[in-house]
Amino acid sequence: MPLRLGILGGSFNPIHNGHLAIVRQTREALELDQILFIPTGQPPHKHNSSLAPAQDRYEMVRLAIASDLTLAVSDVELRRPGKSYTIDTVRLLQQEYGAQTQLFFLIGLDAFLDFPSWQDPQALLELCQFVILSRPGQSFRSLSTVRLLPPIPYSSLADLDAERISQIKTPIRTQGLICLKLPPCPISASDIRARTRQGLPVANLLPPLVESYILRHHLYQEDRDHTNS
């Protein structure tokens, strides 16, 4: 049986219990063997004081998933200088894991709406299956306006939004597209950063090892963009 590998990119600034709940629900729903977290590198020429250093974000992911063998983390985007494009990352992972591995690219519905503007989107649709995850305040019916996708019955998208069904699978060339309705996640990284800055408790929002790491390394204590505004 070929390995069914989920891929989840993001800043993970910081990784929190909501991320972990989402990947575990997705892994179970799609019967994936493993999900690989890919933290983004440091954006070139752009200083954002609310973004923790890339190595710290990678380390927090590593600590958060250390006890779960079905989760892994890759530094592929941290090692690459300059701007990281998803197409380059997916090609590297395909080389690393072998052509027989089935890649499932996990992405929030809000982020996927920009998909036609990505680098080489047609090639991406040939390389991996896209798994579009529900996001609060976003409607799956908006996918009917996204170029490059095959027609998805509007009634099925409406059923997904209304939670009458939990997933839709649509074939695309050699791969496919999966829309997955998950329970809403009430946790946000920006809220955790704000609470940390204000000295408020975050114990139920983060894995304990991540909370300890943030305190030990004094992350998110100061947000100059915030204090200067």
pLDDT tens, residue order, the chain (229 aa): 899 999 999 999 999 999 999 999 999 999 999 999 999 998 765 566 789 999 999 999 999 999 999 999 999 999 887 788 999 999 999 999 998 999 999 999 999 999 999 999 999 999 999 999 999 999 999 999 998 888 899 999 999 999 999 999 999 878 999 999 999 989 999 999 999 999 999 989 999 999 999 999 999 987 544 443 3
The residue with tokens 């891929």 is 7
d(CA 229, CA 224): 8
Secondary structure element (H or E) that encloses residue 89, with its range: helix 86-97
Strand 167-172 to strand 175-180: parallel, antiparallel, or no bridges (unpaired)?
antiparallel
Q: What contacts 24+ positions apart, CB below 8 Å, involve 145-149?
A: 146/112, 146/113, 146/115, 146/116, 147/116, 148/115, 148/116, 148/121, 148/122, 149/177
d(CA 40, CA 226): 22
Contact 163, 181 (CB under 8 A): yes
d(CA 185, CA 32): 21
Bridge partner residues of 73 (DSSP): 37
Out of 3.40.50.620, 3.20.20.140, 3.90.1150.10, 3.30.365.10, the CATH code matching 4-185 is: 3.40.50.620
- pTM for the whole structure: 0.93
From the centroid of its chain, how far is CA 52? 17
- Domain-by-domain residue ranges, the chain? 4-185
